[in-house]
Amino acid sequence: MKRVFKYRFYPTDTQAVELSRTFGCVRKVYNLALAARTEAWTLRQERVTYNATSALLTGWKKTEELAFLNEVSCVPLQQGLRHLQAAFTNFFAKRSRYPRFKSKKRSRRSAEYTNSAFRYRDGRLTLAKMTEPLDIVWSRPLPEGASPSTVTVSRDSADRWFVSLLCNDVIPETTATGAVGIDAGLAHLFTLSTGEKMANPQHERADRARLARAQRNLARKEKGSDNRAKARLKVARIHTRIADRRRDHLHKLTTRLVRDNQTIVIEDLTVRNMVKNHTLARAISDAAWRQFRTMLKYKAEWHGRDVVTVDRWFPSSKLCSACGAQAEKMPLNIRQWTCRCGVVHDRDVNAARNILAEGLSVIACGGGVRPQRESSRTGQSPVKQETRRVTAGIPRL
């Protein structure tokens, strides 16, 4: 299995200049190739392949206007063309939108190197066109005997430099027998079917005042000035602080859940639609439910766990996990409720238990299996109603 190990590094001034030049050349080649492919299709209905754009790159390097492309390694430029080819493949397969041009200010600044463009020996990584190795902070060791096949260098909006190493990794097999249902929320980030509630750190709210001050300071600066660049950097660093803390918290939660349980059942939440509620949009975005689900799925795949998704319309909060009766209404302000069978439910714990039961039924029977619940009109279960119809000689409609 291939895994990416990401580390922060601190380049020298010479390395920073070389990498920044490489980022610009990669962006330039990508945009030129995209323009050529778009023009060929628009004017001549002709599809340009990767091999054709690679030949165009050779011609561009020979022109006086684009001769600067020869100053950087050719491998990141070729990888940029491969990424464009993958973008068109996804577009024609209707998996993504039409590729867009890369922006100097908004697009991700990165360059990818393959085996022929870097040297990795004894924990020292040297890129093509460079004489000194990168000063990498090895926060965790690479797998024993692992050698990176691809290296990606990137720079984020807070001017931090990162290097990502793609390696083959063998994850040790672990056994787990537990099953857990997870109900997402805002007061508590997640509630487990075991009754445990995980607190919501609300990272964005903790830095909201600090972020607002930095943004007001940025708005007062003149566009294009050095002071505006400094103010923008302060805003970016606050955003990255919030994102890093949120990501770290979700990594710890998902790792623990995957290690302790064989089956994990979650809800199929449509976060894109939920954030249209302007009252809760900020809190929902800060909770990062979608990011949690993504982490949970790929970690479960690593460890051989099962992640089951319950239909979004499943009434987990309205169903009684004891008798299966369904309440007619369940407003958000009701956090505890008593079923007609006499059981007092915590709203979130009850929902998590129903989610787990529904997920196990999906595994066993393909879904759609729910506890028998009483009819809202007669107060009797469907089995009892059917028995009365047969006894009275009433045909079933």
- pLDDT tens digits, 270-279: 899 999 988 9
Q: Is residue 83 part of a domain?
A: yes
Tens digits of residue pLDDT in 323-340: 888 888 888 888 888 888
Q: Is residue 365 part of a domain?
A: yes
Using a pLDDT cut of 90, give the percent of the chain over it: 70
Kindly state whether residues 163 and 37 are assigned to the same domain: yes
Q: Where a domain ends, among 145, 168, 191?
A: 168
> CA 65 from chain center: how many Å?
40
pLDDT value of residue 366: 65
Q: Where a domain ends, among 257, 278, 310?
A: 310
Kindly state whether residues 53 and 198 are assigned to the same domain: no
- Among residues 18, 112, 204, 267, the one annotated as catalytic is 267
> What's the rounded Cα separation, in Å, for the pair 184 and 333?
16
178-203 mean pLDDT: 93
Average of per-residue pLDDT values in the chain: 89
Full domain range(s) for residue 109? 2-168
Kindly state whether residues 207 and 303 are assigned to the same domain: yes
pLDDT value of residue 368: 53
Q: Is residue 293 part of a domain?
A: yes
- Among residues 18, 112, 286, 348, the one annotated as catalytic is 348
Kindly state whether residues 95 and 110 are assigned to the same domain: yes
Q: Is residue 238 part of a domain?
A: yes
Known catalytic membership, residue 226:
no
Kindly state whether residues 391 and 301 are assigned to the same domain: no
Kindly state whether residues 161 and 198 are assigned to the same domain: no
Kindly state whether residues 203 and 56 are assigned to the same domain: no
Lowest mean pLDDT among 72-76, 77-81, 172-176: 172-176
- pTM, 2 dp: 0.83
Kindly state whether residues 329 and 381 are assigned to the same domain: yes
Known catalytic membership, residue 328:
no
Q: Where a domain ends, among 107, 135, 168?
A: 168
pLDDT(168) > 70: yes
Half-sphere exposure in the Cβ direction for 212 (13 Å, CA): 6
Kindly state whether residues 352 and 372 are assigned to the same domain: yes
| Residue 75 burial (C-beta neighbours within 10 Å; 0-12, 13-18, 19+) | buried
Q: Is residue 174 part of a domain?
A: no
- Among residues 18, 112, 183, 374, the one annotated as catalytic is 183
| Residues recorded for the chain | 397
Look at the block and give the residue holding tokens 């529904």. Answer: 358
104-123 mean pLDDT: 93
Kindly state whether residues 58 and 20 are assigned to the same domain: yes
List C-alpha distances in Å: 322 to 318, 325, 335, 340, 356: 12, 8, 17, 11, 13
Using a pLDDT cut of 70, give the percent of the chain over it: 92
Query: Dihedral (C-alpha) 87, 88, 89, 90: value to the nearest 10 degrees?
Result: 50
pLDDT(388) > 80: no
Q: Is residue 173 part of a domain?
A: no
> What's the rounded Cα separation, in Å, for the pair 194 and 192?
5
Kindly state whether residues 190 and 251 are assigned to the same domain: yes
Kindly state whether residues 20 and 88 are assigned to the same domain: yes
164 neighbors 6 (Cβ within 8 angstroms): yes
Known catalytic membership, residue 183:
yes
Of 209, 215, 208, 301, the C-alpha closest to 254 is: 301
Look at the block and give the residue holding tokens 């066993």. Answer: 364
* Number of folded domains that form the chain: 3
The amino acid at residue 214 is A
337 vs 150, which has greater pLDDT? 150
Largest CA distance in the chain: 95
